[in-house]
Amino acid sequence: MYTLDFNRPIHVHFIGIGGISMSGLAEILLDRGFTVSGSDMKASELTDHLSAMGARIAIGQKASNITDGIDLVVYTAAIHEDNEEFAAARDAGIPMISRASLLGQIMANYLRSIAVSGTHGKTTTTSMLTHILLQGELDPTVSIGGMLDRIGGNIRVGASNLFLTEACEYTNSFLEFYPLYSIILNVEEDHMDFFKDIDDIKNSFHTFASQTAPDGTIIINGDMEHTEDILQGLKQKVLTFGLEPGNDYSARDITFDEQGNPSYTLLVSGQPAGSIALKVTGLHNVSNSLAAIACAREIGMPLEQIRQGLLSFGGTHRRFEYKGSIGDITIIDDYAHHPTEIRATLTAAKEYPHDEIWTVFQPHTYTRTKAFLKQFADVLTLSDHVVMADIYAAREPDTGLVSSMDIVDLLKEAGTDVYYFPSFEEIEDFLLTHVKGHDLLITMGAGNVVEIGEHLLNR
């Protein structure tokens, strides 16, 4: 394993430096005095920002970008061995590591590290913790998988020994991490283009939990059916959280305000510890906040600072994000692309002021759509009306084995009012003539479906 030492800055070259995560890691290294270079296929605000900080950026990925003096090359999962820049670095004998490995190496240079994992809720919980840590003036370095207004993006470079990051299970990226505090929000079937089955996923989360520092703490959802399997044989300290009684951190007397935001009485070891109010919707965010509270208290923060930090958090981009209104019609955008996430979003929407709910759903990847076809149809029945867009392929080829029409057919069988259009323009034209009154319009999916709501607001 390659070892990165903040006390010995070197020249690190990034293949694909313009990505949101890669650019953030490059910024951390620049702040620590490293020499940074990198390439990307096109210039962007992110590459311009890195250039202004002193990075040498090349547009286009070619062998000539690999120059003398480079000590380490970092590449993204999108870069393959036939990439000529990758091949040039390999042929030159330069040490090479993945983006996830670099993130793990950066984390190891901080005395206190927090890794937030789980099938759902990572970005929101990491953002909640960011607000809490900033409320306590702990000056953390933060890496988030989404955009957070409080830090002006997805990365914050702090001066303390505290590091906070999301830990994604896809391709077992989080197995590069050895945190002091490991948070496991939930474990479900997902990314079935990589994992074989739920047992394979549980094994990965067990390994992730086992890599928590011996003197660290595992903070895990105690409501899961998989909790005991994940913790089996582990010796680290464990704290549980969840909506059910019996967890170390739980909630009772949950109520919702007129905007659907929950408040509750916090229970610590079954005893009332104070009241908590959130500015984000849904029961799932009560659970996320309990994980954040457990972690913040474990590192020594007082409850009042935690309470104020949570109250200052109004959500991240693409997580039940208010986009605007057309008359009395409210447009919300949400990243949900797994049946559990969709259920949480639509359940939260029920508490939001509305007449009827319209959901424009764009499935994300063919393998996920095929694996959860019936579950997608089941949860989408929670919406009064559903408009289906074509599947967003992302990294996958179209196998021809599944399409959005398969979900449409199941929704029709269930009696749901459902429509399908092959283009965003047709969807927008339809919505303009059918959504009315105080209806709530939600664009939903991990692809580019957000553009529909934005186009409607511009029109």
**Claim to verify: residue 272 and residue 417 sit in the same structural domain:** no
What is the model's pLDDT at position 125? 96
What backbone phi and psi angles, to 5 degrees, belong to 327? 65, -125
The reply to whether 61 falls in a domain is yes
**Claim to verify: residue 154 and residue 270 sit in the same structural domain:** yes
The CA distance from 455 to 209, in Å, is 43
Candidates 47, 124, 141, 166; catalytic one: 166
The reply to whether 33 falls in a domain is yes
Q: Determine which of 79-83, 189-193, 209-213, 434-438 has the lowest per-residue pLDDT on average.
A: 189-193
For residue 355, the domain's CATH number is 3.90.190.20
Residue 188 annotated to the active site: no
pLDDT tens digits for range 107-123: 999 999 999 999 889 99
**Claim to verify: residue 174 and residue 274 sit in the same structural domain:** yes
The CA distance from 135 to 117, in Å, is 23
- Confirm if 168 and 145 have CB atoms less than 8 A apart: yes
Number of domains present in the structure of the chain:
3
Rounded to an integer, the average pLDDT of 429-450 is 94
**Claim to verify: residue 114 and residue 67 sit in the same structural domain:** no
Supply 67's token pair.
Answer: 């120059």
**Claim to verify: residue 242 and residue 348 sit in the same structural domain:** no
| Confidence at 213, pLDDT banded by 50, 70, 90 | very high
The reply to whether 93 falls in a domain is yes
Candidates 47, 119, 123, 316; catalytic one: 123
**Claim to verify: residue 244 and residue 142 sit in the same structural domain:** yes
Rounded to an integer, the average pLDDT of 121-138 is 95
Q: What is the largest CA-CA distance in the chain?
A: 65
* Amino acid type, 267: L
| pLDDT at position 193 over 80 | no
| Confidence at 1, pLDDT banded by 50, 70, 90 | low
Candidates 27, 119, 122, 443; catalytic one: 122
For residue 34, the domain's CATH number is 3.40.50.720
The CA distance from 292 to 126, in Å, is 8
**Claim to verify: residue 307 and residue 356 sit in the same structural domain:** no
Rounded to an integer, the average pLDDT of 204-213 is 97
pLDDT, the chain, mean:
93
What is the model's pLDDT at position 194? 78
The reply to whether 5 falls in a domain is no
* Inter-axis angle of helices 283-298 and 122-135, nearest 10: 50
pLDDT tens digits for range 388-411: 999 999 878 898 999 999 999 999
The CA distance from 449 to 453, in Å, is 8
The CA distance from 289 to 226, in Å, is 20
Domain boundary among 311, 335, 358: 311
**Claim to verify: residue 292 and residue 358 sit in the same structural domain:** no
**Claim to verify: residue 304 and residue 350 sit in the same structural domain:** no
**Claim to verify: residue 35 and residue 117 sit in the same structural domain:** no
Residue 370 annotated to the active site: no
The reply to whether 46 falls in a domain is yes
The reply to whether 146 falls in a domain is yes
**Claim to verify: residue 88 and residue 122 sit in the same structural domain:** no
pLDDT tens digits for range 358-376: 999 999 999 999 999 999 9
The CA distance from 49 to 99, in Å, is 19
Q: How far is CA 204 from CA 116, 118, 177, 217, 371, in A?
A: 14, 11, 12, 18, 20
**Claim to verify: residue 355 and residue 389 sit in the same structural domain:** yes
| Confidence at 162, pLDDT banded by 50, 70, 90 | very high
Is residue 157 helix, strand or coil? coil
Q: In which order are the strands placed within the sheet that holds 35-40?
A: 56-59, 35-40, 11-15, 72-75, 96-98
The reply to whether 54 falls in a domain is yes
The reply to whether 359 falls in a domain is yes
Contacts 24+ apart (CB under 8 A), 323-328: 323/443, 323/450, 323/453, 323/454, 323/457, 324/453, 324/457, 326/456, 326/457, 328/437, 328/438
Q: In which order are the strands placed within the sheet that holds 153-156?
A: 153-156, 141-148, 162-166, 112-117, 181-184, 217-221, 237-241, 249-256, 262-268, 271-277
For residue 221, the domain's CATH number is 3.40.1190.10
pTM above 0.85?
no
Domain boundary among 69, 98, 127: 98
Is residue 308 helix, strand or coil? helix
Question: Residue 93 is part of which domain span?
Answer: 11-98
Residue 166 annotated to the active site: yes
Domain boundary among 31, 65, 98: 98
Is residue 414 helix, strand or coil? coil
DSSP type of residue 250: E
The CA distance from 187 to 338, in Å, is 12
What is the model's pLDDT at position 318? 77
Rounded to an integer, the average pLDDT of 422-447 is 94
